[in-house]
Amino acid sequence: MNTTFSEFQQKLVDIAQLKSAMAALNWDKDVFMPPKGSGPRAAMLSYLAGELHEKVVSREFLDLLRESKAAADSGALSEGESAIVREVWRDVSREEKLPVEFVKELAQVTSEAYLVWVDARQKKEFTLFAPYLKKIVALKRREADLVGFKQSPYDALIDTFEPYATTEEIAAVLGDLRNFLTPFLAKIRNSKANVRREAIAGDFDVEKQKVFCALVAKKIGYDFDAGRLDVSAHPFSTSFHPQDSRITTRYNPKEIIESISGVVHETGHALYEQGLPAKQFGTPLAEAVSHGIHESQSRLWENLVGRSSAFWTYFYPLLRNEFPAAFGNVSLETFYRAINAVEPSFIRVEADEVTYNLHVILRFEIERAMIEGDIAVDELPRIWNSKMKEFLMLDVPDDSLGVLQDVHWSFGGIGYFPTYSLGNLYSAQFFATARRAIPALDEEMARGEFGSLLKWLRENIHVHGKFYSAQDLAKRATGEKLNSKYFSEYITRKYSEIYEL
């Protein structure tokens, strides 16, 4: 092995150790830390962030990167090593284009903006948040100029979340998706089929929910010797290493599908992390490709598996046994329809599979126009509300149920939203391909066997880390570039049956 490269790789591992230590402290902060720990914890994390920054900008590290880049360019490195250099080079080049004062200003503005957003949302008053959002949009436009872009400044922002993707490509697939969803949703709304979400209401003991959710996570392949399931205010997943990937959820004593779906979603993220190659720890070959691909793994398990009739053929009898008062008189068919009820609603994170992407497309259109300078921040509530009317036929009653509902803009995460829909599209495309490769998939799932599906995902997605770009990975795994056809077909087939269309 090239000695420069092996020194470089060791530095990457050192950096990753620090990042994992910070992730472990952050996980503890959200799961176990007592309230008085918050000050000292912030100091701890800020100290480590400083150490991390110094390592990344150190002369030694940057020299090793440059020498490794030269080795890769001259053909002296293996394909895997070259991919590592390519990805680190990409990240560092972007960082180097941002002056320190700019980075500090953005950090300062977004940390203030987060608190203002929390307050504004609580008071349902967009005008409180607007001055901060104006600053953030101006900074993000400047970031795009500093980083550079070919067509749209929005390209430069998407790039942080979905490397190599462009505004134009995303606009094309989301445009196709919108053209499918709008008329399909209208058909569902006109359906007379008896699909009632209330059929699954009841009281659900939280301790029993915990046991059931853990059983589901284990059954679909989550390795509890390489992870934990805990409780937090907002469900999330985090990973310190492929051998330690954590998930959390929350429990509502009046609702059970929320916690099961939440756990299956986060398990999907964690299965990806547990499937990354441990021996490449610290390098991009042990990192997820993109936000879109990460979300494809969570949505595949949450929706294509976890809301399917095959999945519930196995799990429903077990659920009914645990909660006879709620489900004793509810048939599998009624239950299956209830958990798949389609109902336009204000809040994205509570949306069903059919309407969810319309929430995302709305945000994509708005933030793209904001960054391209076509709409002003003050106009957002009006534009948001008129799009909600157009897409979902809803009248938004106040800003907390509208433009203020998501945290993303407050932390400067402009360009993040489209990755949620890319995740849905990738998930359907992957699942359709896996189904062709595993003809008995439905029968297997109905017996509670998920191993061959997980194996397919491991071999085709997880094991590659960042070796391929998201686009190339999808093409390699499915034979086609990302498109909305598989998702549209999946939704049409499933919901035509449920809604008797």
Which listed range, 51-59, 114-122, 275-283, 296-304, lies at the site for Co ion (CB under 5 A)?
Answer: 296-304
Q: Which is nearer to Co ion, 267 or 298 (CB)?
A: 298
Token look-up 């680190």 returns 88
Q: Are 347 and 362 a contacting pair, CB within 8 Å? A: no
| Residue 420 Cβ vs Co ion, minimum distance, rounded to whole Å | 8
Task: Give me the helix-helix angle, 309-322 and 206-219, nearest 10°.
Answer: 150
Q: Which is nearer to Co ion, 89 or 411 (CB)?
A: 411
- For residue 255, give the 3-state DSSP assignment: strand
| Residue 162 Cβ vs Co ion, minimum distance, rounded to whole Å | 14
Q: Which is nearer to Co ion, 302 or 399 (CB)?
A: 302
| Residue 460 Cβ vs Co ion, minimum distance, rounded to whole Å | 20
Q: Which is nearer to Co ion, 120 or 288 (CB)?
A: 288
| Residue 224 Cβ vs Co ion, minimum distance, rounded to whole Å | 20
172, exposed or middle or buried, with CB in 10 Å at 0-12, 13-18, 19+? middle
Which listed range, 148-156, 290-298, 343-351, 488-496, lies at the site for Co ion (CB under 5 A)?
Answer: 290-298
Token look-up 């998706």 returns 177
Question: According to CB under 5 A, which residues from 435 to 474 bind Co ion?
Answer: none
Assess 238 for contact with Co ion (CB under 5 A): no
Q: Which is nearer to Co ion, 396 or 422 (CB)?
A: 422
Q: Are 338 and 316 a contacting pair, CB within 8 Å? A: no
Cα–Cα distances (Å) from 82 to 30, 74, 193, in that order, read 37, 10, 56
Cα–Cα distances (Å) from 155 to 105, 292, 422, in that order, read 22, 15, 15
Out of 266, 273, 302, 367, the active site residue is 266
| Residue 407 Cβ vs Co ion, minimum distance, rounded to whole Å | 14
| Residue 246 Cβ vs Co ion, minimum distance, rounded to whole Å | 14
Q: Which residues contact 180 (CB under 8 A, 6 or more apart)?
A: 484, 488, 491
Q: Which is nearer to Co ion, 269 or 337 (CB)?
A: 269
Question: According to CB under 5 A, which residues from 97 to 156 bind Co ion?
Answer: none
Question: According to CB under 5 A, which residues from 419 to 438 bind Co ion?
Answer: none
Q: Which residues contact 330 (CB under 8 A, 6 or more apart)?
A: 199, 200, 320, 338
**By beta-carbon distance, which residue lies closest to Co ion?**
298
Distance CA 194, CA 198 (A): 11
Which listed range, 22-30, 108-116, 181-189, 297-305, lies at the site for Co ion (CB under 5 A)?
Answer: 297-305
| Residue 223 Cβ vs Co ion, minimum distance, rounded to whole Å | 19
Distance CA 478, CA 427 (A): 11
Is 7 catalytic? The answer is: no
Query: What's the CA angle centered on 212, arms 209 and 215, to 5 degrees?
Result: 150
Token look-up 């709008």 returns 182
Q: Which is nearer to Co ion, 43 or 349 (CB)?
A: 349
How many distinct helices (H) and strands (E) make up the chain?
Answer: 21, 3
Q: Which is nearer to Co ion, 282 or 418 (CB)?
A: 418
| Residue 412 Cβ vs Co ion, minimum distance, rounded to whole Å | 19
Q: Give strand pairing partners of 230.
A: 248
Q: Which residues contact 90 (CB under 8 A, 6 or more apart)?
A: 163
The single residue among 167, 245, 298, 433 that binds Co ion, judged by CB under 5 A, is: 298
Distance CA 118, CA 124 (A): 10
Which listed range, 114-122, 223-231, 298-306, 350-358, lies at the site for Co ion (CB under 5 A)?
Answer: 298-306
Which listed range, 47-55, 272-280, 292-300, 483-491, lies at the site for Co ion (CB under 5 A)?
Answer: 292-300
Please give the positions annotated as active site.
266
For binding to Co ion (CB under 5 A), which residues are involved?
298
